[in-house]
Every structure is written in structure tokens, then in C-alpha cells.
Structure 1
Amino acid sequence: MNPIIEYQNHLTRRQFFAGAGLGIGSVALAALSQQEISAAAIDRVHPPLPGLPHFTPKAKRLIYLHMNGAPSQLDLFDYKPGLVDQFKKELPDSVRNGQRITTMTSGQSSLPVAPSIFKFKQCGESGMWMSDLVPHMHSIADEITMIKSVHTEAINHDPACTFVMTGSEVPGKPSLGSWLSYGLGSESNDLPAFVVFTPTFPKDSQAQALFTRMWSSGFLPSSHDGVALRGAGDPVLYLQNPPGVNGSDRRRMLDALGQLNERNFERYADPETRTRISQYEMAFRMQSSVPELTDLSGESQETLAMYGPDVHRKGSYASSAILARRLVERGVRCVQILHRGWDQHANLPKLIQGQCNDVDQATAALIRDLKQRGLLEDTLVVFGGEFGRTVYSQGTLTDNNYGRDHHPRNFCMWMAGGGVKAGMTYGETDDFSYNITENPVHLNDLNATILHQMGIDDRRLSFKFQGLQQRLTGVEETHVVKDILG
């Protein structure tokens, strides 16, 4: 006889009731837990996954300011006064050390060193170095941690931008915002968990294309896609009901459509059917929530003036910045602003001034605005690009004109709020801003740190796809940058 069956046949009466009591207790506990989960699900349209966050978060929400095209760290934040003496001299072989350069520069007969023509100063009580290109950011130096030692492998824009947002150079992976939407959901029932802005930029900028993969949900359910709010016309297409259709008509149509989709789900069990149902419901709620979101008439004149005159121009970076604050204020989990035009291979001094004029004031205003409202403490703000720029000039170098090529070896990003130390500079580079000399931070480590501040262990947030447990930070070992955390 099977020994397990034999053991079961010889259970005493006392053993039976003892085991049954434990079983009934566990069933009751499970039922109570399920009731709590169900209650939470009723309260939240976008509930978190069970068990998330993994630990108490320092940040409840994320605003990611992505400067698409790669801002020059040498002209903004990585002060190298000794380069003045290296003007037009060849970049030493001992510095380059055989590292690859792009085909855009490899054909040049020389790699002449191009010191920044912009002045730098130490800002705030922290003494953080910033150039005069970003005078408004000088005022927030004591609110941010400047990381000078970020690095990546990608050397061209498309794979680099894909990597900075998805953790992979290969398209098809979920973006950071989609992972946050999937894992943590949102506190807002009337707005998407993940919202994206692609604001206008100076017309003479050298702009790279933006691809929806940077805010795509990839292999996650499509309900976690970033929702891009438009800068012209209605923020969302078809926001208004067509002529002759009122809100109650729309409600009846959605109810009938929902019943048909539920039958379809019962028949085929396709999870995308449920996604379609939830997205129709969200679209219905957004018909009232989005017009209220974009109406700035309730903002004080002092607040609007802080963001600058462009705050009234729909689709501008300043308008996007104040809407980002209004979104997180209403419980949205992640807001991403992608500002194009930072790819300055030639005529950098002129072009970078235009870019900085477009974002400097509104970026500083966003930090101050969040702080004044008590939101900065648990809102994490990230500012940066996909890689850095070279110390040597691409093309002709003169006293007041130069260009810079792509440089993945090191670049600057800064973080503010959300439990990050304030007024800190982390990491260091050599005298040419070419190699990291202290505290390197890989982009995967940066993303692991962002997730950590949001209460997520990046090793434990995964989704099985194509036979693998996929993660934002990949399969290699990552490190949370604990030195920058408060």
C-alpha cells in the first residue's frame, strides 16, 4: 500500500480535528485577506500587485525629465578649468586609451580639445558647480544630488535612449514608467498611472526622433502604456463627445460594450480584452479629469510667474512642467517629459543656450513648487540624457565655436526629493571629463536606485516572458547607490 495513504488511514480522531482546525483557520484567514484585497481593489482603479511595495517607500511618485539628444556635461555641470590650457591640443592617447569613437569623428585628422566657453560658479551652501547656462538651476543646488559618474554602453541615440528608459538597447522591453504602473498602480482613479509629455523645442535645434518604445509597456499588459498628452488641440484625441451624444449616452454605450467584452473574455480568456475594458473606463473618466487638469486658472500668479511666460503656451516645456506637478498632485504614479534637441555636433555654444533657455527656469520652478507644496519629500525628480558629449571637438574648432560627439563613458544626471540627499555631488571624472575616476554609476544601478526609492527591490519585480523572468535592470548584478540616499 502507498505509505502516505496508509498513514492517512491510521490518523487518530484527535489528529484529524487538530489538522482540520488548522485548515479551517487558514481558509478563514485567506478569506479575510481576500476581503481586504477586494476592498482595496474597489477603492483603487489601478491597485498595486500583491506584496508591493516590497518595503516602505521614500518616494510615492516619479517625475523624469529626459533631455533627449544628450546634454554636454562639460558645458553644464562638470567643471574642468584646466582645459583652458589644453585648447586645440590633441586629446592624449593616455586619456582615450584606445576607446572607440563614432564614425562621425573617426575620420577627423585630429581630436582637438575644446574647453567650455561658459563660465562656472559654485552654487548654494553646497558649493555645487554649475555653468551660467542654467542660472535658475543655481537656486536649487541645495535641493539636488548631482551624479557626475553615470555611464552606459550605447554610443548612438536610438539604442541609448531605449536603454535609459527600458534597461535594454533591444526594442520591445517595458519602460520604467510602465514597470511602476504595473507594480505599484496609481492613487488616481480618474487619470492614467503613467503620463508622458513631448514638448516643443527651439526650431534651430538638432533633434533626434522620439519613439513610443520609450514609454511603451512592451510585453506587460498594454494598460501600462504611457499616455501621451498632446500639446495642441485636445490633450487626448476624441476627448469630447461627438455632437448629439451626452455623458449619459456615452455611459450606456460603454456599459453595453463592457458586457460584450466580458462575454468575449469568458470565451477566449484573452487578458487584452480586460485591458480594453479598463481603458474604455479610463477614457470615460478622463473626459472630466483632463479638462480640469489642464485648466490653470486656479493657479496663483506667483506660481505661474515662477515657471516663466511659456507656461501659458500649450505644448511648451514650461506648460508640461506645471502639468507634471498637477498630475502627481492628483495621484499619478509616473510623469515623463522628453525634451528634444540636445544633439549638438556643431555650433554647440549657440544651440545649447537655446535649449537651456527653454528648460532652465521651468525645471527650477518645478523643484521649488513641489517643495512649497510639501510634495518634494516623497516625489523623486530625475534630470538627464542618454549619454554625454566628448571633450574633443567634432568639426572645426574656433575660440567661440565647437561641436561635441557622443560620449557614453561618463555624463551627469541629477536627482531631487524622494529620499535623496540634498546638496550633494557624487562621483568624479578625470581632468578631461573623459573617464570616471570615482564612484561609477551604471544606468542599471541608477534605475535600481529609482525603484528602491519607490519601495521596490529591482531583483524581485519581474514578468515572465519568452521563458525568462524579465526585469527592468536586466539579469546582471545591480547596486543601489546608497551613498546618495538620505
Structure 2
Amino acid sequence: MTQLPFAPYSRRQALKSAGAGFGYLALAGLLGEQARGAEKAAPQPLAPRAPHFAAKAKRLIFVHMNGAMSQHDTFEYKAQLFKDAGKPGPGGGILTAPKFKFSQHGDTGSWFSDLLPNLAKHADKLCWLRGLYTDTPAHPQAVVQLHTGSANAALTRPSMGAWLLYGLGTENQDLPGYVTINPPPNFGGAVNYGSAFLPAHFQGTRINDQGYLPNLKATTASDLQRKQLDLIQEMNRDLAAAPGAPDAVDGVIESFELAFKMQGKVPELLDISKEPKKVLEAYGVKDGPAGAFARQCVMARRLSEAGVRFVEICQPGWDHHSNLHKGLIDRCGSVDQPTSALLADLEARGLLDDTLVLFGSEFGRLPTAQGPDGRDHNITGYPMFLTGAGVKKGFSYGATDEYGIKAVDGRMHSTDLHATLLALMGLDHEKLTYKYAGRDFRLTDVKGSVVKEIFA
């Protein structure tokens, strides 16, 4: 049997005779590579905590289009790009108009291409951030920066979700406070949902769109598991009280208890087959890979409704350096109906009143052609949208130039985005700090401005 971490040898033998495997599974499945923390955890470290000021949103859903969705072909209409198509662009390359038809929607007259007919129905609910920019055109660094505030993957920083848990705790103590569904294995991997130097219990819990949570399935009866866990926790608490104990022990103790609770709660919560047929049809749920994103959206609503603080869902495959036309038809076809249904479902249940939804990519794409059918990366100007708690409806902040190359108005760095999201959740990004290696760290490091113009 694999030796259990932190258990003194004599007690390991007792566990071996008891047939205990739960402790190791909880450690491996919940803590993964990051079973560490920079200081001892307080009692009930995930208990809800008061925000710095009145929060506009209680929870956040991040809908991540991994790979850089082309805004020019979806929801960033530029009349001059259509007019000057075929001419040299200001920075080189040939200006290339979208092949898709654009039309205006809602009272706001927001532009959408015919790739997104369902999302266009929510035009008057959306709050657009159209002047975003970031630092690096490389996917791994840009994705890590979007998630952690730092583009340097070698100097690992806590993820945005980990900072939210650290600042606010979570509403439901029987569930993880931070769940990431189908995170991309590349582009930073576990760094994007890790806790880095924050205590390990603040990191994200990874699941897939089938509701599978690694190492959560019980292998013994519940009463025997409870006895095994009590013995493990007694040993770990003894070790935690000893001089020179590893800082990670308290995080391990907390993860064991959470894993035990989750075995009874999470599988049922992630079983979307119990949803009414009309709900599943509204999201476009189907079997196989084609229904993966729709399943994620249903799970995101169920998790948020149950009190999970931060949920991220991901659709990869937007890196269209080639095959732009057919690739966009495929990708948009996968996300349009489920995203629209998620927003409608949240609103119908009253959840959109205190849930904030963020939709976007790590950066955008250029208005010029790359090869016969592609667009290259653009970090100098691109959009995302917010909707739900705390933001203005049918509002647009910032703008790019006439071709959509550079942000020229309402410029908003990814650090400003983080500061603004934290403020909507009731947290002052300059006060949300954690002392590590002799200095106070924060999600926004030494930068970041809150864009209050978008607040409702």
C-alpha cells in the first residue's frame, strides 16, 4: 500500500491493517501538485467572510474561450474594415473583412454576426469591455496572466479563483468553493487554477463535463471511511502541532474533510440527467464531444445555484491561424446556444441578480489576413463582455480604432479587469494581500484600476 503522507510510521501500520486508502486519495485528488501553503490555515478557512465593502455580486462564472476568439468575425463590427478590405493594413498585412453577415440587435443596436444568433438575443443585458489589452501574444503566458495576473509561469502566482476564496470564503461548506470544468491541459495547465503560495485549500477543484472528479469515488463503506478519516486526522493534527511541521498540513486536514463531504454531495450535483428534458434541450445537451460545452453550462448553473463561489467553464479550439471560416462555424455552433441558455436560465431563477458572468478570451485577433484563411494574434485591442450582478445592461465601455487593431478609448489592461472583478465582488484589490517571501502579494501586483464606469 502507498504510505500515507504525514503519518508517523507506527500509525501508518495501524492504517494499513484498517485498509485505509481514503487519505491518500483525498490528497492526490484534491491537492494535486500543490499540497502546500505559506502559513497555517485558520479554523474553517473556507467559511464565508465579510467583503471589504458591499458586494454587487456573490459569485462569478467565467466562460473562457481558450485560444483567442476572433472578435472581427463575431461581435466587433467595423464598417471601415468592410470598406477597405483588400487594402494594406496600418501595421502591415492585408485588411480582410469577415465572411459572415452582421446585424444589429436589441434596443442598444449591438452588432453580432450570424454565427451567434442566440447570444444576440441577450444584447440588451450585456456590458461590453471593448478596449482591453494585455502584454504578451503567446498563448501560455497570456492565459496564465488572465488567470493569475502574472505572465511569468515560472514565478507561479495564485489564480483569480483562489484569491476570491481567500478573500470571501464560500457559501456551501459541503462543496468546493472553486470549480474548473475541462480546463485546458496546456497553456499553463494547473497553474491557471492553482493556489501557488496561498494555502492549498484555496485552489480550484478540477472536473470534466461528464461530472468526473478524480479520486472521489468511495471504495469502502461510509462508516468505515469515517473511522479511517478520524484516525488520519488525529495523526495529522498531532503533526501540525509539532515544532517544525510542514505548512501544508492544515490544508491537507481541510481537504480530507471536504473530500469526505463531497463524496455524498458532488456526484448528485453533477448528474445533469436529473434536469427536466426541456432544460437540457434549451442548452442543447447531446451525447459525445459535441455536447461537452452544453454540459459544462448546465453544471455551472447547478454549481452556482448550490453556492459555489467561482466556476470556470472552457471551450478550446479558437486559435484560428488557418481554417478560420469553417473553424468559427464549428466553435460558435458549440457555444452559442449553451451560453445563451445559461444566461436565460440564471435570469429565470433569479440568480443573475447576484451572479456575475464574464465571457472572453486571453486576447483577440487581427483584422488582417494570415495565409489564405486565418488571423494572427492581437493583444493591443479586443473585447470581452460581462453580464449579471453589478454591471450596466446594454452598455459599452471603451473602443478600438476604425479597424479594431488598438484600444483607443477606455483602455483596460487585464490587471484593470482583475481589479474591477474583485471590486464587483466586494474586494479592494489593494487590500486583498498575502505575505509571502517577505512582501505582500496581490492579484493585481502593483497595478490595476477599478473601472467604475461600468457599475450599475
TM range (shorter): 0.7 to 0.9
Equivalent pair of 2:60/2:357 in contact (CA under 8 Å): yes
How many residue pairs end up in the alignment? 412
Q: State the distance in 2 between where 1:260 and 1:208 align.
A: 37
Q: Which residue does 2:16 correspond to in 1?
A: none
**Corresponding residue for 2:89?**
91
Note the residue ranges of structure 2 that are not aligned, 5 or more in a row: 1-41
Q: Given that residues 311 and 319 in structure 1 are in contact (C-alpha distance below 8 angstroms), is that contact kept between their aligned partners in structure 2?
A: no
AA aligned opposite 2:148: T
Q: Is the 8 A contact 1:143 1:416 kept in 2?
A: yes
Q: Which has the larger radius of gyration?
A: 1
Choose which of 222, 226, 229 in structure 1 pairs with 2:200: 222
What amino acid is the match of 1:180? Answer: L
1:271 aligns to what SS in structure 2?
coil
Aligned match of 2:39: none
State the distance in 2 between where 1:313 and 1:307 align: 15
Larger mean Cα displacement after TM superposition, 304-313 or 438-447: 304-313
Mean Cα deviation higher: 407-416 or 145-154: 145-154
Aligned to 2:175: 191
Distance change in 2, residues 1:60/1:311 (3 Å): farther
Match of 1:173 in 2: 157
Matched, 1:213 2:191: yes
TM-score for the superposition, normalised by structure 2: 0.87
Aligned equivalent of 1:10:
none
DSSP-derived class of the 2:123 partner: helix
Please say if 1:323 is aligned against 2:299: yes
- What is the Cα deviation at residue 414 of structure 1? 0.2
* Match of residue 282 from structure 1: 258
* Cα distance in structure 1, aligned partners of 2:305 and 2:388: 15
Give the one of 125, 133, 143 matched to 1:143. 125
2:65 is matched with which residue: 41, 64, 67? 67
Secondary structure of 2:366's counterpart equals: strand
Give the corresponding residue for 2:231.
256
Contact 2:139 2:187 in 1 (8 A): no
Tell me the alpha carbon deviations over residues 144-171 of structure 1, each in whole angstroms, 9 at most, x when there is no partner: 1111111111111011001111111012
Q: In the TM superposition, what are the counterparts of 1:407-486 in structure 2 within 5 Å? A: 407-476=378-447, 478-486=448-456
Consecutive unaligned residues of structure 1, counting only runs of 5 or more, are 1-40, 97-109, 201-206, 397-401
Secondary structure of 2:107's partner?
coil
Contact 1:76 1:134 in 2 (8 A): yes
* 1:45 CA drift (Å): 6.6
1:268-347 alignment to 2 at 5 Å? 268-310=244-286, 316-347=292-323
Shift of 1:319: 0.6
Q: Contact 2:209–2:293 (CA<8 Å) still a contact in 1? A: no
- What whole-Å deviation, never above 9, does each CA across 1:291-319 have from its counterpart, x for those lacking one? 21022344222222210133887971111
Once residues 331 and 405 of structure 1 are traced to their aligned partners in structure 2, the CA distance between those partners, rounded to angstroms, is 39
Give, as a single letter, the amino acid of the residue that structure 2 aligns with 1:63.
I
Opposite residue 479 of structure 1, the aligned amino acid is S
Counterpart residue number, 1:78: 76
Q: Secondary structure at the match of 1:309?
A: coil
Q: Cα gap change, 1:393/1:341 in structure 2, threshold over 3 Å: closer, same or farther?
A: same
Relative distance call for 1:255 and 1:307 in structure 2 (3 A) is same
Residue correspondence of structure 1 range 27-66 to structure 2 within 5 A: 46-48=46-48, 52-66=50-64
TM-score (norm 1): 0.81
Deviations 1:78-99 (A, max 9, x none): 101222232221113xxx3xxx
Give the match for residue 36 of structure 2: none
Contact 2:183 2:189 in 1 (8 A): no
Shift of residue 465, structure 1, vs aligned partner: 1.6
- The answer on whether the counterparts of 2:382 and 2:400 sit within 8 Å (CA) in structure 1 is no
Q: Matches of 1:337 and 1:153 in 2, distance apart?
A: 24
- TM-superposed CA distance for 1:239, in Å, is 2.3
Q: Which one-letter code corresponds to 2:101 in the other structure?
A: K
Residue identity opposite 1:57 in structure 2 = A
Which of residues 133, 145, 154 in structure 2 aligns to 1:163? Answer: 145
Look up the SS of the partner of 2:299 in the other structure. helix
Distance 2:396 2:291 in 1: 33
Aligned with 1:305: secondary structure? helix
Letter in 1 for 2:192: M
What's the CA shift string for 1:94-153, capped at 9, x where partnerless?
xx3xxxxxxxxxxxxx61111111111111111111111111101111111111111111
1:266: which partner in 2? 241
Q: Percent identity?
A: 40
